[in-house]
Amino acid sequence: MAPHPAADDPLLADCKFKLNHFRIKELKDVLHQLGLPKQGRKQELLDKIIAVLSDQQDQHAKMNGFMIGKETVAKIVDATFTKMHGSTDAVATSRNQTDSGHIVKPKRKSDHSSTQLDVNVCCPCGYSLPIDSMTKCEGTQYNTPQHVGCVSIAEKPTDSVPPELPPYFYCDMCRIDRADPFCVTINHIILPVTVAPSKIAPDGSYDVQYFDKTFLLSRVNWEMLQKDEYDLQVWCILLNENIPFRMHWPLHSDMQVNGIHIRVVNRQPTQQLGVNGRDDGPVLTTYVREGSNKIVLSRSDPRTFCLGVRIAKRRSIEQVLSFVPKEEDGENFDKALARVRREADTADNDSDIEVVADSVSVNLRCPITGSRIKTAGRFKPCVHMGCFDLEAFVELNQRSRKWQCPICLKNYSLDNIIIDPYFNRITSLIQSYGDDVLEIDVKPDGSWRVNGLKQWHLSDGTLCMPTDIGSKPDVGFVKLEIKEEPLSENTGCLKLGVGRNNYGKW
């Protein structure tokens, strides 16, 4: 049987929201009132109630022997929710009272402990009341709480236990802002809203589900959109996503704005977005008008997404670069040095080949440009030494929107980028050197020299004075030619005799 188009049922969506916050106790209570069996795991209980609400004929709810309609079921769910909400109010109150003391909060890196539970909730479900457990976003711009049950969703509909919130949780609005720092949100025209999963059709496929929303564009907004640097953009993210800072559209996405068909993604409708893929946010500016507009999204995907429409302003590369903290604000020099020392040191330990020297060779070639790094950028959480050329990397990401470390391939956002104080000092010091100077030798104490030159520098860049009093100080630092003479004994350094690749350790 061909799947028939099914619109998102507001009654069902409303009930699902409430049901997602129910404990087993409330679910059993509802099933009892519906005259349905109460055994099973939590997800099974939930599914039974949803089946009745979705008019699935194999589930017959009876009350006092009479068949009951979904409106009645919705009323029962609502009453149970209200009853439960009464008790969660008490929880909220007690939390407020203990704010100065211990707070029941998920793991957090910083102390924003005075979480106010009475501030407005900004949740894609549309409810503005705090209930049950609430999230707290790590972002600085949008951090109003959301309902945990609305944003933490099991990957597969069959999973009974929703995943735990990640240790660093970001709300939808922060996620979309970080997905592309070349676009900054000026105004949310449609606030982020849940795009519900498609239902399973009798033939096992997923129903095509329609989401539609009417939105108003004011005169002020309309005039803003006439300027070049502003766009009206529709965006979508997957709620339970391993790569939080990217757009992600459902399978079989199809969109119409004011009746005009708009291509949403470049991949095949049936093709999943891979780990290295990035979806785009179509620009709607030319399809909308001042006043009322209508957007319809159809899709067929069992996962839960979140969609919004925003006015975004485009940023230039210079503007985006200006968000990277100054070298001294990004990371403490000693911390960078500690990383280099650790990495230079473990290089000796991890090799199965005999180590015959006390330095490692480090390549200063940018993995993107292939030339020597000018400004050494890195993602702060990365443990490796390797850096990239900051400007080239930012420019690359204007197109790719990946914000993926080119060395360890982990996914981050612009907010994690810093200037590496250790390597940036080196690349600045050797700025005037020829383009062929690409390698340095680094000792485990952090001292370094240009590969091929005799002169060592201390970790802070100052020249290492020779210990042999009889000899003249070697000012190899200012000599631009690379000497081929054999290394003298007193430097105490031989090259690391391990079979590393030509690019050295990075």
Give Cα 43 distance to the centre of its chain: 28
CB contact set of 341 (below 8 Å; sequence gap of 6+): 444, 445, 446
> 3-state secondary structure string, 372-400?
ECCCEEEECCCCCCCCEEHHHHHHHHHHH
* Among residues 31, 76, 312, 382, the one that binds Zn ion under rule CB under 5 A: 382
- Which of 18, 21, 147, 443 contacts Zn ion by CB under 5 A? 147
Asked if 211 interacts with Zn ion (CB under 5 A), we say: no
> Rounded to 5 degrees, what are φ and ψ at 377?
-100, 155
Binding mask 70-109 for Zn ion (x = CB under 5 A): ----------------------------------------
Judged by beta carbon, residue 135 or residue 298, the one nearer Zn ion is 135
Looking at 19, 27, 77, 125, which residue binds Zn ion (CB under 5 A)? 125
Q: Which amino acid is it at 196?
A: A
The verdict on 196 binding Zn ion (CB under 5 A) reads no
Distance CA 187, CA 203 (A): 42
The 10 Å Cβ neighbour count of residue 282 is: 21
- Check residue 405 for interaction with Zn ion (CB under 5 A): yes
Determine how many CB atoms are found less than 10 A away from the CB of residue 336: 25
Site string for Zn ion, 153-172 (x = CB under 5 A): ------------------x-
Q: Residue 503: CB partners within 8 Å, gap ≥ 6?
A: 363, 365
Residue 306 interacts with Zn ion (CB under 5 A): yes or no: no
Q: Is residue 94 within a helix (H) or strand (E), and if so which, with residue range?
A: helix 70-97
Query: Cα 68 from chain centroid?
Result: 44
Cβ of residue 162: shortest distance to Zn ion, in angstroms?
Answer: 13
Residue 139 in contact with Zn ion, rule: CB under 5 A: yes
Return d(Cα 450, Cα 48) in angstroms, integer.
70
Residue 77 or residue 171: which is nearer to Zn ion going by CB?
Answer: 171
- Is residue 134 within 8 Å of residue 158, measured between CB atoms? no
How many residues lie near Zn ion (CB under 5 A)?
14
Compare residues 131 and 225 and give the one whose CB is closer to Zn ion: 131
Q: Of the listed pieces 8-16, 51-59, 123-131, 176-184, which binds Zn ion according to CB under 5 A? A: 123-131
CB nearer to Zn ion: pick between 80 and 185? 185
Which residue among 408, 458, 465, 480 contacts Zn ion (CB under 5 A)?
A: 408
Gap between the Cα atoms of 265 and 241, Å rounded: 18
* Of residues 31 and 176, the one with the C-beta less far from Zn ion: 176
Residue 407 interacts with Zn ion (CB under 5 A): yes or no: yes
The nearest distance, CB 468 to Zn ion, in angstroms, is: 41
Among 19, 131, 150, 237, binds Zn ion (CB under 5 A): 150
Contacts with Zn ion, residue ranges (CB under 5 A):
123, 125, 137, 139, 142-143, 147, 150, 171, 174, 382, 405, 407-408
